[in-house]
Every structure is written in structure tokens, then in C-alpha cells.
Structure 1
Amino acid sequence: MRRFTDEELEALLSDTESDRAERKESFQGDAPKKGRQAVCAFANDLPNHNEAGVLFIGAKDDGTPSGIEITDQLLRSLADIKTDGNILPLPVLSVEKRILKGAEMAVVTVMPSDMPPVKYEGRIWIRTGPRRALANEQEERILNEKRRCKNLPFDLYPVLSAKISDLSKLIFENEYLPSAFAADVLESNNRSYAERLASCKMIVSPDETTPTILGLLAIGKSPQDFLPGACIQFLRIDGTELADPVIDEEKIGGAVVDILRRAEDKLKAHNRTAVDIISAPTHQKELPYPPAAFQQILYNAVLHRTYERTNAPVRVYWFNDRIEISSPGGPYGNVTAENFGRPGITDYRNPNITDVLKTFGFVQAFGRGIAIAKKAMLENSNPEPEFETSQSAVVCTLRRKT
């Protein structure tokens, strides 16, 4: 991301008619909401500038400084815009403190998205001159066409052998849409079924109704017909070695949300509660593993796995002394073997599947899964999760409470 010079920022700051700049005197009251709307609009880049938009905090409407103090807490609050999950797909932005026109200002620089339309709380925001507005049907179609011209991540590739009939209209209209869009947006929506699917990236476009990888994984009737490895292989092994007897086995398929729900149920069924009636005055119920730990690791395994050029499933092997969860594909992008698991270090191999899991409520905020798992294991007196990374897989080991 290119860093603007002071002169470039001051020029944007002073141009009150620009559709690439928005100014806020502070980040209080309704400013956080309107600021996120602005970030969403800059990410959509409807005018097709192919240049970053800038949100200034600490500037009046005419571009003069408002004189507020730019604190570390304010900068952290602005950085949360990227990861709190209210803007989907996740925006690419930077946050910094700058001295402009002789005063401190917070500067949020937002790159145009490769995967429009971008939504904030289920609404598609755009810039029309110096103002924000909700996209109408024609503007939404333009954003969909822009997406087709970009280099797409693998989860938006079309599956040429699939048809629109391979997608579940029932799940899409009754489960996905009400979670993805605000109720008032749906009520006023006159778009066709194909237009709605295209807006959610489930098909290529209203005119080319070929399902995408995302569409099959999110709402496919039988995704494994096209993506055989998009499943979870569960084994409950009565012992500590892979060669020991298997007492429960299941290959869990279906759409990604159904896979996770069924896998969670399976894990919870085996996570039997022990009751201690000796060491304390009252009965103490203890779980071998905290549910939050295996849930978060399971979500990460499905979310961050590679679906490209592999038929390998996510593997969940439950031994007597540990659970091993293996995800196909090694660290991706900014995440390396050296920095894996560090706070704040994250990247997304499947950014649109990320959006689906957020929409369905499996992800509350991004980049926190490992931290949540570690905390849950500590509070349950389990050893800390162990990770092994390679080019072909990430394996997490959760050791049983002793």
C-alpha cells in the first residue's frame, strides 16, 4: 500500500468535493458508524479511481483541523474497523497519526477492494461526489462487473461442471440472505434470484449463472460432488497411536456450515464430563477439553485450509490423551512458520468463505481464534495448544487435561 505524502493528504483534505476523502472532527457519537460507512464506500470504489480513499479523523468539514488529541486508544479503535467483521469482505486499510496543516490527525487509508460489492452491516455503501449513499440495483450490477475484471481468489473461481440447480435456494433465501443483509434492504429488494446470488458471489454473474467455489461450499446441495476434499474426517481412537482400535468414525460432508455444526456435535459428544466428588466440599464437573478451544481450532482449520488442487479433508483425530486437528495447506500470505499464532498476524487464503462463516455467526471477530483457544485451555488447566506447520499442512494438538 502506497503511503501518501503530507502534500497529497493536505490536497485531499482541502478538496471538499472529492469522492476520495471524508472528514470527521472526532470519533465519538455517530462518527464510528459513519466512518465505517465511508470505509465501505472507499473499498467499493464505484467511480473506479483505482486509488485509495482517505478518512480523516480530527478535521472539520472544510478541511481545517478540529484540534483533538490523537491517542493510541483512538488509533486502536480505528484499526478495529478492519477486523471487527462488520465490513465484508474485509477491507485493506492502514491507520496512522500524521501532522497535517500544523495539527495531529488520524488518517485511515482504504484500498479499493478486489471483491466488490463490499457491505457494512448488510448494506452496500458507495461515494457519489462528496456524499455517501446506498447502492441502487444498477450500481450494484456495476460493482459485480468490476469484480469479474479482477484477479480473483480461488474461492470465487467458477466450477464449470456445476449448475445453478446445484445450489440450495431454500438455504440461500431462508438462512443466508436474512443473515447477510439488513431487513429493510431485503424488503425493498426487487432483484431476481440470479442477481441476488451474484451479489453474494455464489455465481459468476446474473448472465453467467455458473456457481463459484464459494457458492457450492456455502449453499451447495452436495458440494463434495465437485470438491471431494471439502469435508471433515473424524476418528475416535481408543489409544494414543494411530494404529490403535477405532471406536467411532465419520466422514462429515455437506455445505460448510452444516459440516461445522455436525463436527461440533461429534466433538461435544465425546467430551464427556467428569465429576469430582472427593477433592472439594461440593461436586466439581470437569471437561477434558474446553469446547471453545476445539471449536476455534476447528473453525480455523476449515476457514484457512486450501481447497485448490487437493482432495485431502480436514482431519480430526481424537486419541485418549489428545486431539489432533490437521488442516490441508500451510501458512498463507503474511503468516509464516516463524510468526504463526502471534497476535495480530493474520491473512486469509479464502476471504469469501471467511465472510460466510461471519455471516452465519461462526466468527465474531477476525484474527482471535488461536488466542481464544489458548485462553480457554489455560482456564481449563490444559496444556497450551501445540502447532506444527509445513508447506502442506497445519496440525494443532490439544492435550487432554490431566
Structure 2
Amino acid sequence: MNIERLMQRIRLGEDSTLELKQLVIRENGKSIEPHPDSLADELAALGNANGGMLILGIDDKTRAVTGIALEYLDRVEAWLTAICNDRIKPPLDVVTHHVELPDADGQLRPVIVAEVPQSLWVHQSGNGYFRRVGHAKRKLEPDVLARLFQQRSQARIIRFEEQPVFDAGYTDFDPLLVNRFTREDQDDAQIQLQRLHLLRKTDGGLRAGVAGVLLCTLTPHRWLRNAEIIAVAHDGLVNNPDDQVDAQEIRGPLDRQIWDAIHFVQRNMRTPARKVLGRIDYPQYDLAAVFEAVVNAVAHRDYSRDAQRIRLFMFSDRMEIYTPGALPNSMTIESMASISAPRNEVIASLFAQYYPVEEPLYGKNQLMDKRGAGVRMILKRSEALSGKRPLYENLGDMELKLTIFAAPPPERNAGWQAIPSSGMRIGNDD
């Protein structure tokens, strides 16, 4: 961080992207002023406008560096983080820096600089909806608020996956991931990525779109912290930590998340087998159906839901997959098997064109196809194996739950053993 440039901005005073705040700390750090709701309003106002910077430890009237006592620095940062998470909805992501700035006597004093990005969402703070105008916050009138929701795609005027991500650009893309979408004999790579809606032109320059972050960066959760799969395997029938045998936070570009989730299922799926006149396997799940279910969850989930992740739970008798978001485009549970209406059209289209599947076991040539037969396949193949039809449930228009039931093991007689799909033997011959 350029200290000279920072001091110059402080000397010139607050503007549409700079907020200065002096801190008053009392009762050994138990009481901090300004009031948390007041600071939440200022932070949300920056996020609802063009982003900006908050500096704690500066007198906003005299612009003097008053600093933060060193012993309270971590406590103040925790206080600031709690405000962003607990008093702003949805939570506001900020980047904090501990910096020493010279006061009027030249003595270095610690301050906290919080960088607030232009947010992908519209944020509500303790006293309502605010937006930064000039050097002050202004309460958003209903018509202005409605337009802001539309601009930020929460009204789905522009698909969320096409929205620009404020602090992500082409330089954040991994070259190997980009190669999948570009051709040397065509236009410049950045132009090609714009055509695919992975990059987007904005007033601030060329930004990565949400789909670009999800498909072309190695760490999408850096910008979209919900972009991951939580996978947990249990030995019993309920979600009991004492029965947990494996767990994994699955991150990375979306195609890698899909394959890592499938490997998690294979690693924890028991495959009983008979060894009479040759080996015969009896897998718990049809892997082609599981593969389709995971692809659907990743491709169709609502990535605008900041606090929700895909969750995959394995139990001894079933698998549960929770996908954030209500059913899109007026779909119902009953119509899912016959209607294809993707929420994320860019991701679904790219999955169908640029992601070949070379394993015949999964019964398809690309991660997705355009036939809209995925749900029917999940239902048919899973029921054929287990004898129970998978169950889709719409949980309060917040998430979609899919339950796939495990096939019962064969009767335990001569030559029977049980092994996980990895091949490690976990049972004894009778």
C-alpha cells in the first residue's frame, strides 16, 4: 500500500470512495465508538455504490491521524469483521490492512484500512438501505432501490452469472483453464472470452464475470465464498458427528469440484461382491446417476446465495444432495423430469460444449447435454438399482434436496465380501 498516496487522500478529505473514522475505546476495549449500526450504514453505502475505502483511526473533521492503540488493534479488527458479518445483510466482504501512518508530530500510529469492493449484491444495514453519494451516505428511495436491485441482477434482469466481479480480471484467470475456451486461429483471447460471457466490459475496465470466476480461476471461493461443496460421509443413518468417517471441503473450478465430488462418493461407497464363479459387484449407487446429480447441482445452483453451499451427505442407506436456490423459471418438482430450464445458462452451455467426458461409465460425451433428460436418467437408473425411486424435495423455496437410496446388499452367503469402491477389503469371507 502506497503510504504517501494514502496520506495525500487523507489530507484532501472524504469523497465518494473514502470514509474516515476516529475511534473512541473505553472500558479496556469493551466499548468502541462509533456505534456499530452507524458504521454498518457507512460500509453498506460504499458497497452499494462504487466501493471504496474506510480508514479507522483518522479524525474525519480535522483529518488528523489519531491511530489505534496497538494492544487494541486485533480487537478492533474483530469488531469490524463482526459488523460486516452480523449487522449487514447479506454479509459484506472487506479486505483489511494494518498500516502505520505518521501523526502531526511524525510519530507512527497504527490504523486499519478496510477496502470495500463494489458489491455483487444490494446490502441492508441496521437503519435501512444506503448508497454513497459524494462524501456522505444517502438513504435509498424505493424507486432508486428497485433500480439498484435490477442492476445487481437480484431481479434477474441480467443473469447473475454474467455480472462483473469488481476485483477480478483477466490476470486472475489460470492460463490452462482459459485454453479450454480459446482458439489460436481466432480473435484475441480476451475478445473470445467476452463472447462467451466469461469477461465483461464495465466502466472500470474489463472485469471477470461470475461465470468466468467459477470456470477460469483456481480459487473461485476467493470472490464467491459459497462456491464449494461440503461432502460428509457417515457410517450410520443420521447426521451424527460421532459416525462421521470422511469429510471434505471441495473447492476449485467447477469441473474440478464435480470430479472431486464423484471421487468422494466412490471412496466412501461400499461395493459388496460375490466371488463364486467369478467376481460379481453390487454397488450401492449407480455412478452415472450420481454423476448426473452432481453436475446438475453445480450447474443449476443459485450462486447469488452468499451463505449457502452445495452439501453432499452419505449415510449407510442413502445419499442426500442439497442444492442452494429455489427451482428456476416457474419449474415444479413434478415438471423437472420433462422440462429443462437452466438457471445458469452460460455455465450450462459451456458444460455442453467444452467439457468432454471420456469415461464410458457415465454414459455421456460432455458434462451436460441439451436433451434435458438428466433428471429422468437419475430417477430411472437409481430406482432400477435400489428398488426405490429417488426423492426430490423443495425446501421452503430455499434449496432443492435430492435423496438417492442405496441398493441393499446381497444376502451374506458363501463367497460374499464387502469392499469400498476403492478396492480396499472391509469384510470377511463367510
TM-score range, shorter chain: 0.5 to 0.7
Matched residue count = 239
Percent of counterpart pairs with the same letter? 23
Q: Residues 388 and 317 of structure 1: is their aligned pair in 2 closer, same or farther, counting only changes over 3 Å?
A: same
Alignment partner of 2:232 out of 232, 235, 243: 235
Q: Please tell me whether residue 356 in structure 1 is matched to residue 340 in structure 2.
A: no
3-state SS of 1:233 partner: strand
Quickly say closer, same or farther: Cα 1:309–1:378, change in 2 above 3 A.
closer
Query: How does 1:64-103 map onto structure 2 within 5 Å?
Result: none
Distance 1:309 1:326 in 2: 13
Q: Aligned with 2:168: secondary structure?
A: coil
> TM-score of the superposition, structure 2-length normalised?
0.53
For 1:235 and 1:290, locate their aligned partners in 2 and report how far apart those are by CA, in whole Å. 19
Does residue 156 of the first structure (1) align with residue 154 of the second (2)?
A: no
SS in 2 for 1:353: helix
Note the 1:14-93 alignment, pairs <5 A. Answer: none
The within-5 A match list for 1:2-401 is 151-173=157-179, 175-177=180-182, 186=183, 188-189=185-186, 191-205=187-201, 208-243=205-240, 244-277=242-275, 282-337=278-333, 339-343=334-338, 345-358=339-352, 359-360=354-355, 361-390=366-395, 391-401=397-407
Q: What is the letter of the counterpart of residue 383 of structure 1?
A: K
Is the contact made by 1:159 and 1:212 (CA closer than 8 Å) also made in structure 2? yes
2 CA distance for matches of 1:187 and 1:247? Answer: 47
Q: Deviations over 1:269-316 (max 9, x none)?
A: 2223211246xx554211011101111111111111101132211000
Asked if the contact 2:178/2:216 (under 8 Å) is kept, the reply is: yes
Once the two structures are TM-superposed, the CA of residue 346 in structure 1 deviates from its matched residue by: 2.4
CA deviations over 1:205-227 (Å, ceiling 9, x no partner): 39931000010011112110111
Structure 1 residue identity aligned to 2:272: A
Q: Say if 1:399 and 1:216 are closer, same or farther in 2 by CA, change over 3 A.
A: same
TM, length-normalised to structure 1: 0.56
Following superposition, the deviation at residue 386 of structure 1 comes to: 0.6
* AA aligned opposite 2:304: E
Asked if the contact 1:195/1:205 (under 8 Å) is kept, the reply is no
Question: 1:275 & 1:316 partners in 2: Cα distance?
Answer: 25
Secondary structure, in 3 states, of the residue corresponding to 1:332?
Answer: coil
Separation in structure 2 between the aligned mates of residue 187 and residue 220 of structure 1, nearest angstrom: 20
Deviation at 1:161, TM superposition (A): 1.9
> What is the rounded CA distance, in whole Å, between the counterparts of 1:366 and 1:307 in structure 2?
24
Contact 1:227 1:311 in 2 (8 A): no
Letter matched to residue 255 of structure 2: V
CA distance in 1, matches of 2:404, 2:224: 28
The one-letter code of the counterpart of 2:299 is L
- Residue identity in the other structure for 1:265: H
* Contact kept in structure 2, 1:334 and 1:346, CA below 8 Å: no
User: Which protein shows a greater Rg?
Assistant: 2
Three-state SS of the structure 2 residue aligned to 1:196 is: helix
Q: Point out where structure 1 has 5 or more consecutive residues left out of the alignment.
A: 1-149, 178-185
Report Cα offsets for 1:144-167 as digits up to 9, x if no partner: xxxxxx942110000112122211
AA of the residue aligned to 1:401: A
> Residues of 2 paired with 1:161 and 1:206: CA distance?
12
Distance in structure 2 (CA, Å) of the matches to 1:252 and 1:271:
17
CA distance in structure 1 between the partners assigned to 2:177 and 2:202 by the alignment: 19
Q: Deviations over 1:336-365 (max 9, x none)?
A: 24x34332x221211111112212121133
Describe the SS at the equivalent of 2:259.
helix
Corresponding residue for 2:152?
none
In structure 1, C-alpha distance between the alignment counterparts of 2:246 and 2:234, rounded to whole Å: 7
Q: Is the 8 A contact 1:317 1:323 kept in 2?
A: yes
2:168–2:207: 8 Å Cα contact kept in structure 1? yes
Distance in 2 (alpha carbons) for counterparts of 1:267 and 1:277: 24
SS at match of 1:266: helix
How far apart are residue 367 of structure 1 and its match?
Answer: 1.5
Corresponding residue SS for 1:209: strand
Q: Secondary structure at the residue paired with 1:205? A: strand
Q: 1:198: how far off?
A: 1.0
Q: Provide the aligned C-alpha RMSD in A.
A: 2.0
Distance in 2 between residues matched to 1:327 and 1:246, nearest whole Å: 21
**Distance in 1 (alpha carbons) for counterparts of 2:202 and 2:190:** 5
The one-letter code sitting in structure 2 at the alignment partner of 1:323 is M
Q: Residue type matched to 1:346 in 2? A: S
